[in-house]
Amino acid sequence: MYYRPNIDDLQYTFPLDFCPIYNIETQEIVYIDVPEKRRPLNTAPATNYDAESIQRSIGLRDDLKPIHVTQPEGVSFKLDGRTIDWQKWNFHIGFNYREGIVLSNITFNDRGNVRPVSTCENEHFGSRHD
């Protein structure tokens, strides 16, 4: 749970330390769990990271030179749905709320011999570490 004074505010700036318990079947809040020891509220001003808000608050930087990324001959990868072929690599890319980016079914083409990087076909590599 968090408080967001403005729809563009960073949601993690003002965390709330209580948790409503919601019954999905009756669509009612049945209890509000409040910890015995309360967390102090953040008193920092709300910060928005969109260009207009930054311009209003501290101004945009003017000391940066532009970056130009070009590939006049096109990209070096192929995308087929969520499968990417890049160099001699092939992998499926996905995303989820808990792990972020998830790569799975990773293979490497070693001179015509397509080798799996992992030993389990369903194994995936995400940003989460257990």
| 98 and 53, same domain (yes or no) | no
Angle 83-84-89 (CA atoms, 0-180°, nearest 5)?
120
- Domains: count for the chain: 2
Per-residue pLDDT, averaged over 23-35, amounts to: 94
Q: What is the 3-state secondary structure (H, E, C) of 81-129?
A: CCEEEECCEEEEEEEECCCEEEEEEEEEEECCEEEECCCCCCCEEECCC
If DSSP codes are grouped into helix, strand and coil, which group holds residue 56? Answer: helix
| 53 and 100, same domain (yes or no) | no
Residue in 41, 42, 44 with CA at minimum distance from that of residue 57: 44
Asked, for residue 15, whether it belongs to a domain, the answer is: yes
Count of Cβ atoms closer than 10 Å to residue 107 Cβ: 16
CATH code for position 30: 3.10.450.40
Residue where a domain stops, chosen among 35, 61, 87:
61
Asked, for residue 107, whether it belongs to a domain, the answer is: yes
| 3 and 44, same domain (yes or no) | yes
pTM reported for the whole predicted model: 0.43
Q: How confident is the model at residue 126 (pLDDT cuts 50, 70, 90)?
A: low
Q: How confident is the model at residue 130 (pLDDT cuts 50, 70, 90)?
A: very low
Asked, for residue 36, whether it belongs to a domain, the answer is: yes
Q: How confident is the model at residue 34 (pLDDT cuts 50, 70, 90)?
A: very high
Please check the confidence at residue 75 and state whether its pLDDT lies above 90.
yes
What's the pLDDT at 129?
A: 46
Alpha-carbon span 124 to 106, nearest angstrom: 8
The residue that leads in pLDDT, 58 or 73, is 73
Q: In which domain, by residue range, is 93 found?
A: 77-126
